[in-house]
Structure 1
Amino acid sequence: MNSLKRKSGYMAAILLAACLPQSALAVSQYSGSVDFTYFITANNRNANGDMQFLSITDFLAVNPSVESGSSSYSSGYQEFSGLGVLHTLSFASQDSIAIGVSISEYFSDLKIEFSNNSTNLDDIYDISIEFNYMLTAQSTGTFADADVFFFYSNENFDLDELVIAHASSETNSFDHIANSSSFSFVLAAGEVENIYFQSAVMGQLEATVVPIPTAIWLFVSGMVGLVGLRSKQLGTSMN
């Protein structure tokens, strides 16, 4: 009977060791996003004029430049609907892999065009755009790298700024940047001005098979030894 108990104890420990995998998959993942809001105000210097000749048109293009089979993106934008109205743009992408290599790049381009269509030289518009932006980058896993870009400029680069949030599983796994800015310009009769807001999220992932730590196997070996010792002690006490 004691022999049977000892054999059962050994078998249980051996089965425990056999059930432990030799290695495990380490998931690598990243996420990045840009959240942007703006509103525009304007006035006509011509006391006898109005705003009817000021035309404001927006154009949004989203381009998945490099896309992996596992990556995805989302984009939302409230089209321009009037002066003094708060408008929002959100852009994000993410990816996650259990093994292998993955690269993804997504771009968003917003162009706002201002036109003074008046033929009266007295119709001069003072225009101001105020905006807020928030960039977030996050990465975890064996190797994960995320870069989030936000770039804004005008036609003549009087307005010119590049903001970058970076996250890496090897250094800082999270980065967050929030700021606000404004830009004012004058639009004379017959003139056109363009302002550009460009966003990009890029991610690189690598996931490999990770060996089970040696400490786990030492634990199992200890369990087998304890089972054997306990069985031997029981056998001695029974005798």
Structure 2
Amino acid sequence: MTKKYLLPTLALASLATLTIQNAQAAANFSSYATVTYTIDSLSNLTNAGDFSGLDIGGSFVLAPSGDFQYITGTGSVTASAFDAEYTAITAAVGSSYTRTFQLDGSASNNGYVFTHYLAYFDTAFSNLSATDSYNVGLTLSYALSASATGDESLTDVTVNYSAEHYNAAFDMTADPTFFGADYAGTNQSLSTAFLLNSQAFNFTLAPGEFEALYASAGVAGTLQASPVPLPSAVWLFASALLAIPGLKKSTKTV
């Protein structure tokens, strides 16, 4: 290739590269909620050391109709899997039940994504004994994370928790010592929000009684990937490159 056509070709190649980069403008979000129940203390108030009558289990499920996705253009959403069945927990100090729900999304080339999930993290204590009473000390810990990249990115995570106590006749009473809400979110380019917290709880189960502890995490994200306009200086520079062969020809004819 002669020098006469080399610079215009390079200029056009540069413009093509910039145009491709412009078309690939993208926005992303990633959010997760980790919930952990840990047994801090455990005692049989009737027969010390005997926990055979205490049944403990945890579940991690999607709330009924708890997922929503709306995607137009180029975009995707990836959610972590849920447990298929109830998980048994050993009745012992130090035993824990922990699960993480994560939601990621991406959009590019003018794509639009909006999604929301609601996950349930539940733990239940059932006293199956006809004679023994149990005292349980428990800590709920949770970590929330939300991060976003791209000027049109929004993501957030919220967690709510509560407890319910049922007596042997299965009459329910809400426990006011274990309830609350928290939140972590971000809507700025290249930003991350993180929240770590815990709540202690203590309860006694008489024969036939039941204690249920509930935590729910809402995870959401919104993305709009818009092409980023190229600076005017880029176009002026490219135009100058294209004009160079003509200028050299003019110089020769003067």
The AA in structure 2 aligned to 1:26 is: A
The AA in structure 2 aligned to 1:54 is: L
1:39–1:220 CA distance, 2 compared to 1 (3 A): same
Residue 111 of structure 2 corresponds to: 100
1:136–1:118 CA distance, 2 compared to 1 (3 A): same
Residue 126 of structure 1 corresponds to: 135
Alpha-carbon distance between aligned partners in 2 of 1:137 and 1:16, rounded to the nearest angstrom: 39
Asked if the contact 1:66/1:104 (under 8 Å) is kept, the reply is yes
Q: Which digits, 9 at most, give the CA deviation of each residue in 1:114-154, with x for residues without a partner? A: 1223333xx32110112332111011123111011122211
Asked if the contact 2:178/2:199 (under 8 Å) is kept, the reply is no
1:52 is aligned to 2:52:
yes
User: What is the aligned residue count?
Assistant: 229
The AA in structure 1 aligned to 2:36 is: T
Give how far 1:61 is off: 1.3
1:197–1:80 CA distance, 2 compared to 1 (3 A): farther
Q: Which digits, 9 at most, give the CA deviation of each residue in 1:94-122, with x for residues without a partner? A: 111112321111121122121223333xx
2:149 aligned to which of 140, 156, 159: 140
1:85 is aligned to 2:81:
no
Map 1:148-227 → 2, pairs under 5 A: 148-155=157-164, 156=174, 157-169=176-188, 173-227=191-245
Which 5+ residue runs of structure 2 have no aligned equivalent? 165-173
* RMSD (Å) for aligned C-alpha atoms: 2.9
1:110 is aligned to 2:114:
no
Residue 27 of structure 2 corresponds to: 28
Give how far 1:48 is off: 6.0
1:188–1:10 CA distance, 2 compared to 1 (3 A): closer
Alpha-carbon distance between aligned partners in 2 of 1:5 and 1:193, rounded to the nearest angstrom: 83
The AA in structure 2 aligned to 1:144 is: S
Larger Rg: 1
Alpha-carbon distance between aligned partners in 1 of 2:6 and 2:53, rounded to the nearest angstrom: 90
1:5–1:91 CA distance, 2 compared to 1 (3 A): closer
Residue 67 of structure 1 corresponds to: 69
SS in 1 for 2:19: coil
1:27–1:229 CA distance, 2 compared to 1 (3 A): same
Asked if the contact 2:112/2:223 (under 8 Å) is kept, the reply is yes
* TM-score (normalizing by structure 1): 0.81
Residue 37 of structure 1 corresponds to: 36
1:5–1:48 CA distance, 2 compared to 1 (3 A): closer
Give how far 1:43 is off: 0.6
Asked if the contact 1:13/1:220 (under 8 Å) is kept, the reply is no
The AA in structure 1 aligned to 2:68 is: V
Give how far 1:226 is off: 4.4
1:75–1:133 CA distance, 2 compared to 1 (3 A): farther
1:79–1:227 CA distance, 2 compared to 1 (3 A): farther
1:203–1:227 CA distance, 2 compared to 1 (3 A): same
1:10–1:193 CA distance, 2 compared to 1 (3 A): closer
Residue 167 of structure 2 corresponds to: none
Give how far 1:175 is off: 0.4
Asked if the contact 1:9/1:231 (under 8 Å) is kept, the reply is no
